[in-house]
């Protein structure tokens, strides 16, 4: 009986280790070619927790040979682990860093105008931005009314007077409203550009900002989302609260269909963004809502040799999506390797369905 249990545990351990390695593969293989790997990347934190549990279990019972199954797997996936759960208990020495730049990226969820309360968070959200006082701010889902209402572009600009330079590009513009991306800066903007993925909502914009006589290209991305409806999310919450086989089948079919499409589209968008980044003649800063986790093709393709500020100096899981059932880190600030990340964190404020990421970096 004991031997059978041991064989079962070893088998489960091997399955968990293989699942973790498949998650690593999603950073290398486009979902457009092998879609299944993307799901192992999405659930990488949970797979990692299972492997850690096995390591602890074999340690307690002193089974040194079987201990190496998960231990070697974790070693092979060490970069993915550090990007997902960075730990930096000792702060970097920054007293010698004189030229600093504070950056914020924030998916503002259209100022929450379509949340259940239908109450705009414009005043409180922009007041928060002013309190944090970043030098450069990148907004996604920047939604304003064109003719009337409190949330107009004019009112936003009025509240962000300390940012005299800005680049706002609307990917959707109707008679009543406009929505898109925005970059606000305390420093002069020399050049503005955009990269439209296709005829649609998601895109990339960039601005060349002159900081202390040096030009930096700042990118602001918003990548393809899963586009789950409010009803679909509610069904998922119901399923978590009270499992039902019929509802489970319905949720799986709807979610997988939308997720498969999003993975494919995002992979193509990531390839386009990576090419645009490579063409930059200046050091770069990347901000945005990638709608994907650190163990993903999207993240790895865009990041390349850049520094993910949170993974470099942050500590903990650092989720940036605020929904309690979808606690993922999908918003990022990445910088050129010549920069020196000083601090990075996700501020847990409730002005949007995302948390803002705030990073400070030393300039070369």
> Residue 207 maps to which CATH number?
3.60.10.10
C-alpha closest to that of 187 among 159, 158, 167: 167
Answer whether residue 91 is part of any domain. no
Cβ contacts of 101 within 8 Å, gap of 6 or more: 135, 136, 211, 216, 285, 360, 361, 363
Per the model's pLDDT, the better-predicted residue between 67 and 92 turns out to be 67
If asked whether residues 56 and 183 sit together in one domain, one would say no
- Residue finishing a domain among 26, 56, 84: 84
Last residue of a domain, one of 24, 50, 84: 84
What pairs with residue 184 in β-bridges?
Answer: 137, 166
Does some domain include residue 122?
yes
The answer on 110 and 67 residing in a single domain is no
Residue at a domain's end among 84, 115, 149: 84
Q: d(Cα 5, Cα 355) in Å, to the nearest integer?
A: 44
In this prediction, residue 202 carries a pLDDT of 93
Same domain, 210 and 349: yes
> What's the mean pLDDT in 29-40?
93
Q: Could you give the CA distance from residue 104 to residue 320 in angstroms, rounded to a whole number?
A: 13
Q: Note whether 166 and 76 are same-domain residues.
A: no
Classify residue 89: in a domain, yes or no.
Answer: no
Residues 77 and 163 in one domain: no
Q: Within this chain, do residues 182 and 330 fall inside the same structural domain, yes or no?
A: yes
Q: What percent of the chain has pLDDT over 90?
A: 75
- At 291 the pLDDT is 96
pLDDT of residue 364: 85
Quick one: 76 and 142 in the same domain? no
Q: Is residue 298 part of a domain?
A: yes
65 and 154 co-located in one domain: no
Tally of domains in the chain: 2
Check whether residue 296 and residue 190 sit in a common domain.
yes
- Residue 141: its H or E element: strand 136-145
Report if residue 94 sits inside a domain: no
Q: Does residue 148 sit within a domain?
A: yes
Do residues 240 and 122 both lie within one domain? yes
Residue 113 lies in a domain: yes
**In a shared domain, residues 196 and 343:** yes
Contacts 24+ apart (CB under 8 A), 64-71: 66/9, 66/10, 66/13, 69/10, 69/13, 69/14, 69/17, 70/13, 70/16, 70/17
Question: Residue 189: pLDDT above 70?
Answer: yes
> pLDDT band at residue 179, thresholds of 50, 70 and 90?
very high
Percentages helix, strand, coil for the chain, rounded to the nearest 5?
40, 25, 35
Mean pLDDT of the chain: 91
**Residue 231's pLDDT band (boundaries 50, 70, 90)?**
confident
Q: What is the phi/psi pair of residue 31, to 5°? A: -60, -20
Read off the pLDDT band of 245 (50, 70, 90).
low
Give the model confidence (pLDDT) of 132-175 as tens digits. Answer: 999 999 999 999 998 777 799 999 999 999 999 999 999 998 88
Name the residue range of residue 47's domain: 2-84
Is residue 92 in a domain?
Answer: no
pLDDT, tens digit (0-9, with 9 covering 90-100), for 287-334? 999 999 999 999 999 999 999 999 999 999 999 998 877 899 999 999
Helices 2-25, 64-76: axis angle to 10 degrees equals 10
Give 159's contacts (C-beta < 8 A, 6+ positions apart).
Answer: 122, 123, 126, 127, 130
> Is residue 118 scored above 60 in pLDDT?
no
Answer yes or no: do 247 and 105 share one domain.
Answer: yes
């Amino acid at each position: 009986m004991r031997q059978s249990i041991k064989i079962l545990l070893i088998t489960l351990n091997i399955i968990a280790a293989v699942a973790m390695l498949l998650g690593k593969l999603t950073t290398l293989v486009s979902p457009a070619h092998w879609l299944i790997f993307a799901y192992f990347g999405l659930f990488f934190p949970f797979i990692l927790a299972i492997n850690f549990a096995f390591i602890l279990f074999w340690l307690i019972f002193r089974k040194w040979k079987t201990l190496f199954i998960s231990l070697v797997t974790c070693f092979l996936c060490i970069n993915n682990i550090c990007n997902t759960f960075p730990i930096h208990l000792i702060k970097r020495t920054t007293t010698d860093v004189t030229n600093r730049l504070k950056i914020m990226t924030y998916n503002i969820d259209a100022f929450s105008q379509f949340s259940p309360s239908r109450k705009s968070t414009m005043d409180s959200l922009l007041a928060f931005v002013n309190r944090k006082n970043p030098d450069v701010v990148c907004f996604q889902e920047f939604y304003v009314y064109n003719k009337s209402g409190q949330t107009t572009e004019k009112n936003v600009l009025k509240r962000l007077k300390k940012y005299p330079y800005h680049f706002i590009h609307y990917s959707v513009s109707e008679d009543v409203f406009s929505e898109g991306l925005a970059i606000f800066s305390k420093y002069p903007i020399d050049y503005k550009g955009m990269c439209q993925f296709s005829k649609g909502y998601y895109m990339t914009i960039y601005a060349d900002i002159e900081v202390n006589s040096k030009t930096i290209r700042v990118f602001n991305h918003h990548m393809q989302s899963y586009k789950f409806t409010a009803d679909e999310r509610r069904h998922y919450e119901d399923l978590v609260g009270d499992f039902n086989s019929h509802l489970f089948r319905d949720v799986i079919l709807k979610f997988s269909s939308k997720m498969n499409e999003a993975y494919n589209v995002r992979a193509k968008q990531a390839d386009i963004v990576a090419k645009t980044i490579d063409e930059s003649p200046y050091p770069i800063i990347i901000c945005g809502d990638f709608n994907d986790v650190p163990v993903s093709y999207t993240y790895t393709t865009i990041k390349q040799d850049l520094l993910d500020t949170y993974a470099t100096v942050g500590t903990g899981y650092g989720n940036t999506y605020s929904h309690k059932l979808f606690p993922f880190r999908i918003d990022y600030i990445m910088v050129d390797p010549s920069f020196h990340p000083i601090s990075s964190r996700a501020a847990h404020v409730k002005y949007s369905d995302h948390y803002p990421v705030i990073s400070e970096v030393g300039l070369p």
